[in-house]
Amino acid sequence: MTTIVPLRPGDEAPESPFVPLAEASRYRSPRATIDPDQTKSWLVRAMPVVKAHRFILGTCVVGTFLALVLQVQIPKMLGRAIDVALDGRRGSLGHYVAIIVALAVGRWILNMISRYLLQITAFRLEYDLRHIMYEHLSRLSFSFYDRVQSGQLISRANSDIRSVQMYLAFAPTILAQCAVAVVAFAEMLTINVPLAIVAMSTMPIAFIVAVKMRERLFPMSWLIQSRLAEVATVVDENINGVRVVKAFAAEERQLKLLAAASRRTEWANAEDANIRARWSPAVENMPRLGQALVLLYGGWLAVHDHASVGTIVSFNAYVLLLQPPFRLLGQLMMMGQRAKASAGRIYEVLDEQPDVFDRPGAVDLVTAKGDVHFDGVDFAYPNGTQVLRGFDLRLRPGETVALVGRTGSGKSTVARLLGRSYDVTGGAVVVDGHDVRDLTLASLRHHVGMVADEPFLFSISIRDNLAYGRPDATDEDIVAAATAAGADGFIRALPEGYDTVVGERGYTLSGGQRQRISIARTLVLNPPILVLDDATSAIDVQVEQQIHEALRGLLAERTTLIIAHRLSTISLADRVAVVEDGRVIAEGTHAQLLAGEPRYAEILAQVEEEES
C-alpha cells in the first residue's frame, strides 16, 4: 500500500507557484452570472446579468419613456390648435405649430439615443450569456458529455440564448412603451373624464386575453425549442459522421431522418402560429374598439356641445397611440413564453455540476517526479458498468510500462483516471505520494500528457495545433517535437508547411499523420508523465519503428504508460502489465511473460489475429 500524503497549502514550499501555460484572455468576463437558486423563477435568476448593465439599460428605458411622454403631448397640442383654428379670435396657430415641431424633434433625438443604447445592451447581454454558457460547459466533466448530444448543446448555446437575450434586452423598453397608456390616460383625464373612461374601457379585456394567450404559448414554445435542437442534432451528427454516412450509402436514410425532425418542428411552429392567430388579433384590436367607442360617444358629446371638435380629435389620436403598445404587448407575451422555455433548457445545463473538480484546499503540483501508483482502484462508469476491480499498478519515475489486455479489459480507463477525466469509485490514484484528488486539475493535467488513439485536431494551422498546450513554444521546440514524432517530413511536404491549415478534425490528413501530430503536440508540452493510448495504431510498421527510435531517448526521461497492442509498441516498455477483468494479473518483461504467463501469449495472439 502506498502512503498517501494529504497535500496542504505550503507543504512543498516551491520557489514559485505553478502557472498554467495558456494565453491570457483578451476578453472581459461577465460581471455577474445566473443565480444558482433553482427555486427562483427564470427571470429572477437572470436578473444579476441584467443588473450588471443596469446603467446603460436604464438610460435606454428612460430615453424611450421620455420620448413617449413627448409624443403624448402632441395630440393635446393638436386638439388645441384645431379649436383655435375653428375660433380665430382665440389666438394664433404659429405658437402651437412651433410646440408640436419641438416635441417631434425632441422625440426623434431621444428615440435615436435609446435605440442605439438598446442595441449595445442587447449585444452585451448576448456576450455575457454565451460566455457564461461556454465557461460552464468547459468545467463540466466527461460523464456529462457521455450522455448529452452535441446538437442539443449547440442549440441551447445559440437559438435558446438568443431567445433569452431578446427578451431581457427588449422587454424593459416594450414595457416603457406600454406605459404610454398610463400617461395617455392621465392626459385624457385632464381633458374629459367620461370620455377618458370610455376610451380605456376595452383595456382590461385586452389584458385578460393576453394572459390567456401566454398560458397557451408556453408549452408550445418549449416544444419548438426542443424540436429545433433535434434538427441541430441530426445535422451535427451527419456533418461529423459524413464519412460513415457515405461509406454505407445512407444519404437517403439520413435525409429522411432530417425531414422527419423538420416536419415535427414545422408542426410545432404551425401550432404556435395558430395560437397567435387566434389570440393576437383580439389583443391588438381592443384599442380600435376603444377608438370606435370614442368616436361614438365623443360625437354625441360634440353634438350636444359637451365637447369640442379638438377634444374629439385629441382623443382619437390618443387611442391611435395605444395601438402600437398593445401590438407590442402581444409580441412581448410571445417573446416571454419562448424566453421562459429557452431559459429552462439553458438552466438544465447550467444547473449541472461537474463530477470532477478541485477539492477545497487542493494545491498545485508544481514539479512532478513521475512516481505513479494505482492503489486498489475500483471504477464504474455513471451507467453502472464496472470496469476496474482492485486495480493495482506502480510506475516508478522514468519507467515505461505497457498495459496489455483484451478489448474491454479497462486499459484506456486506467489512462483516463490518471488525468482525472473521471474519479475513482474506490481506492486511489497517487502521483508522487499524493492522491490526485488533492491536486488542482490544471497542475495535474499540465504534468500528465495524454495521446489518445483517436486524435483530434483543430481547424487551425499545424503549427498552432502543435503549440496548443504550450502557446509560447518556439519554432525550434515545435520542429524538434514533430521530428521526434516522425511528422516533420510530411509537414514540410505540405503546400504551406507548418502554416498549413488542416480541415475540421484534421480530416485533410491521414489517420497516421493525425496521430503523429497528436504525439508531437504532447511532446511540445514536454510532460514528466506521458500516456500513449494506442497512439500509433493508425501508423504503418515502418514509420512506427522510426517514431519508436526517436521516442526511446525521450521516454527514458519521463514516466510513461503505454496502452499497447502491437509487439513493436510493447518493445518500448521496461515492464509489461497484463490486465484481465479490470485488474493486473501478471507483470514482468515481455520475455518473462511469454515464458511464464500463457494468458499473455493468448492476448497477443488474439490481437495479431484481429489485425491480420
341 and 386 share a domain? no
DSSP-derived 3-state class of residue 392: strand
Beta-carbon neighbour count of residue 29 at 10 Å? 11
Domain presence at residue 260: no
Dist. CA 555–CA 590, nearest whole Å:
18
Q: What is the model's pLDDT at position 96?
A: 77
Is residue 608 very low, low, confident or very high in pLDDT (cuts 50, 70, 90)? low
Question: Both 376 and 323 in a single domain?
Answer: no
Instruction: Specify the range with the lowest mean pLDDT, choosing from 311-320, 568-577, 587-596.
Output: 311-320
317 plus 169 within the same structural domain: yes
Instruction: Supply the DSSP string of 170-201, one letter for each residue.
Output: HHHHHHHHHTHHHHHHHHHHHH-HHHHHHHTT
Which among 198, 503, 306, 126 is positioned nearest to 517, based on CA atoms? 503
Q: How far apart are CA 33 and CA 13, in angstroms?
A: 35
Span 566-593, average pLDDT: 86
Between 380 and 565, where is the model more confident? 380
pLDDT at 148: 81
Last residue in a domain, options 293, 315, 350: 350
> What is the structure's pLDDT at 39?
92
Same domain, 112 and 150: yes
Quote the cell numbers at residue 85.
383654428
The HSE-up count of residue 163 (CA atoms within 13 Å, CB side) is 27
Regarding whether 139 and 223 lie in a shared domain, the answer is yes
Answer yes or no: is 273 within a domain.
yes
> Between β-strands 529-533 and 448-451, what pairing exists: parallel, antiparallel or unpaired?
parallel
Where b means 16+ CB within 10 Å and e means fewer, 88-115 reads eeeeeeeebeebbeebeebbeebbebbe
The CATH number covering residue 585 comes to: 3.40.50.300
The pLDDT assigned to 34 comes to 92
Confidence of residue 4 (pLDDT cuts 50, 70, 90): very low
Residue 560, domain member (yes or no): yes
Residue 55 has pLDDT above 90, yes or no: yes
8, pLDDT greater than 70? no
Is the pLDDT assigned to residue 89 strictly greater than 80?
A: no
Do 138 and 222 lie in one domain? The reply is yes
DSSP of 305-363: TSS-HHHHHHHHHHHHHHHHHHHHHHHHHHHHHHHHHHHHHHHHHHT---SS-PPTT-B
The boundaries of the domain holding residue 93 are 42-231+266-350
CATH code of 59's domain: 1.20.1560.10
Q: Residue 524 pLDDT more than 80? A: yes
* H runs (alpha helix) in 351-440: 411-418
Most confident of 1-10, 128-137, 326-335, 545-554: 128-137
Q: Are 364 and 439 in contact (CB under 8 A)?
A: yes
Closest CA to 432 of 2, 93, 43: 2
What confidence score (pLDDT) does residue 9 get? 41
Examine the domain organization and report whether 428 and 324 are in the same domain: no
Could you give the angle at which helices 309-350 and 54-86 cross, rounded to 10 degrees? 170
Q: Mind listing the pLDDT tens digit for each residue in 29-49?
A: 888 899 999 999 999 999 999
30-66 core/surface letters (b: 16 or more CB in 10 A; e: else): bebbbbeeeeeebbebbbebbebbeeebeebbebbbb
Q: Is the pLDDT of residue 3 over 60?
A: no
Q: Are residues 218 and 116 in the same domain?
A: yes
Q: What is the pLDDT of residue 59?
A: 92
CA distances from 594 to 490, 589, 597, 601 (A): 37, 9, 6, 6
Q: How far apart are CA 462 and CA 449, in angstroms?
A: 19
Cα–Cα–Cα angle for 270, 211, 49, rounded to 5 degrees: 85
b/e sequence 235-263, b meaning 16+ C-beta within 10 Å? ebbbeeeeeebeeeeeeeebeebeeebee
How far, in Å, CA of 385 to CA of 133, rounded?
A: 30
Mean pLDDT of the chain: 81
Question: Above 80 in pLDDT, residue 508?
Answer: no
**Does residue 254 lie in a domain region?**
no
> Vertex 156, ends 153 and 157: CA angle to 5°?
85
CB atoms near residue 561 (< 10 Å): 27
Buried b (16+ CB within 10 A) or exposed e, 380-419: beeeeeebbbebbbbbeebbbbbbbbbeebbbbbbbbbbb
Please give the biggest Cα pair distance in the chain: 124
pLDDT of residue 257: 80
Q: What is the mean pLDDT of residues 486-501?
A: 89
Is the pLDDT at 266 greater than 80, yes or no?
A: yes
Residue 388 above 90 pLDDT? yes
Query: What pLDDT does residue 14 have?
Result: 41
Looking at residue 258, what is its pLDDT?
A: 79
Q: Are 3 and 375 in contact (CB under 8 A)?
A: no
Measured CA to CA, the distance from residue 164 to residue 125 in angstroms comes to 9
Average pLDDT estimate for 211-232: 76
497 C-beta neighbours (distance < 10 Å), count: 13
Distance CA(282)–CA(285), nearest Å, equals 5
Whether residue 311 sits in one domain with residue 420: no
Higher pLDDT, 49 or 567: 49
Cβ neighbors of 145 (< 8 A, separation 6 or more) are: none
Residues 307 and 436 in one domain: no
Radius of gyration of the CA atoms of the chain, in A: 35
- 14 part of a folded domain: no
Does residue 149 belong to any structural domain of this protein?
yes
pTM of the model: 0.74
Share of the chain above pLDDT 70, in %: 85
Can you say how many angstroms the Cα of residue 197 is from the centroid of all Cα atoms in its chain? Answer: 50
Least confident of 247-251, 260-264, 433-437, 513-517: 247-251
Task: Please say whether the beta carbons of 157 and 45 come within 8 A.
Answer: no
Quick: pLDDT tens for 350-387.
999 888 888 888 888 888 888 999 999 999 988 788 99
Are residue 53 and residue 177 in the same domain, yes or no?
Answer: yes
Output the pLDDT for position 37. 93
194 shares its domain with 82: yes
In a domain, 17, yes or no: no
- Tell me, yes or no, whether 511 lies in a domain: no
> Cβ–Cβ contacts within 10 Å for residue 593, how many?
23
Mean pLDDT, residues 188-210 = 77
- C-alpha 71/C-alpha 106 separation (Å) is 9
Residue that wins the pLDDT comparison between 241 and 148: 148
Q: Which pLDDT score, from 0 to 100, does residue 541 have?
A: 63
Condensed to tens digits (0 to 9), the pLDDT of residues 446-489 reads 889 888 777 788 888 899 989 888 888 899 999 988 988 888 88
Domain count, the chain: 2
H/E element holding 487?
none
Category of 486 on φ-ψ map: left (φ > 0), alpha (ψ -120 to 50) or beta: left
Specify the pLDDT at position 10.
43
